[in-house]
C-alpha cells in the first residue's frame, strides 16, 4: 500500500513534530520514491530546492523521522538507506532485494529460537534482515545478454 505525503505529515504531527516546508518536501520525496534512498541522495535532492541546507540538517531529520517510525532504516553493504515505513504495526523483519531495494515483510522472528545468551542478558531490541535478489532481478541476472 502506497503512503501519501499527507499521511506521512499527519504521522509526524501526531507525534509532535513541527512541520516545516523542508519536512513537507521530505514527506513528498519519500511518498513518491519507491525505493530506499541514501542520506546523500536525499541531501542532493533537498539541496537543489533549499540552497545552503546542510547535510547535518538533512541527516538529523532522517534520523528523527526514523525514530518516530515514519521512515525505516536499512544498513546495506553500500551504506545506510531510508524508505517510508512499511506500515506494519507489529514486530517484523525484512527481506530486501540487493538490486532494486524491493522489500518484503517477514512476521517470523528468529530471536524466538536464539539460545545461549549470557545469563541475565536482556535483549532491548534487535534487527534481522535477509538480503538477496527478488524474482524479477534474479531472472534478469540469469538471462544471457
Summarize the annotated binding site for Fe cation as residue ranges: 91, 126
CA torsion angle 70 63 33 135 (round to 10): -90
Is residue 66 predicted with pLDDT exceeding 70? Answer: yes
Ramachandran region, residue 128 (left: φ > 0; alpha: ψ -120 to 50; beta: rest): beta
Q: Which of 21, 26, 20, 22 is nearest to 8 (CA)?
A: 26
Which domains, ranges and CATH numbers included, belong to the chain? 5-84 (1.10.10.10), 93-142 (3.30.1490.190)
pTM over 0.85? The answer is: no
The percentage of residues in the chain with a pLDDT greater than 70, rounded to a whole number, is 94
Summarize the annotated binding site for Zn(2+) as residue ranges: 97, 100, 134, 137
Summarize the annotated binding site as residue ranges: 91, 97, 100, 126, 134, 137
Give the span between the Cα atoms of 138 and 84, in whole angstroms: 24
pLDDT tens-digit map of 80-105: 888 887 665 667 788 888 888 788 88
Amino acid at each position: 500500500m502506497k503512503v501519501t505525503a499527507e499521511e506521512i505529515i499527519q504521522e509526524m504531527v501526531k507525534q509532535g513534530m513541527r512541520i516545516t516546508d523542508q519536512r513537507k518536501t521530505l514527506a513528498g520525496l519519500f511518498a513518491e520514491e519507491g525505493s530506499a534512498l541514501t542520506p546523500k541522495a536525499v541531501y542532493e535532492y533537498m539541496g537543489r530546492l533549499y540552497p545552503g541546507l546542510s547535510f547535518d540538517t538533512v541527516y538529523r531529520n532522517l534520523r528523527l523521522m526514523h525514530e518516530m517510525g515514519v521512515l525505516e532504516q536499512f544498513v546495506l553493504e553500500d551504506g545506510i538507506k531510508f524508505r517510508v515505513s512499511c506500515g506494519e504495526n507489529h514486530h517484523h523483519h525484512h527481506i530486501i532485494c540487493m538490486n532494486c531495494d524491493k522489500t518484503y515483510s517477514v512476521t517470523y522472528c528468529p530471536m524466538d529460537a536464539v539460545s545461549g545468551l549470557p545469563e541475565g542478558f536482556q535483549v532491548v531490541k534487535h534487527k534481522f534482515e535477509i538480503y538477496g535478489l527478488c524474482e524479477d532481478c534474479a531472472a534478469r541476472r540469469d538471462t544471457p545478454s
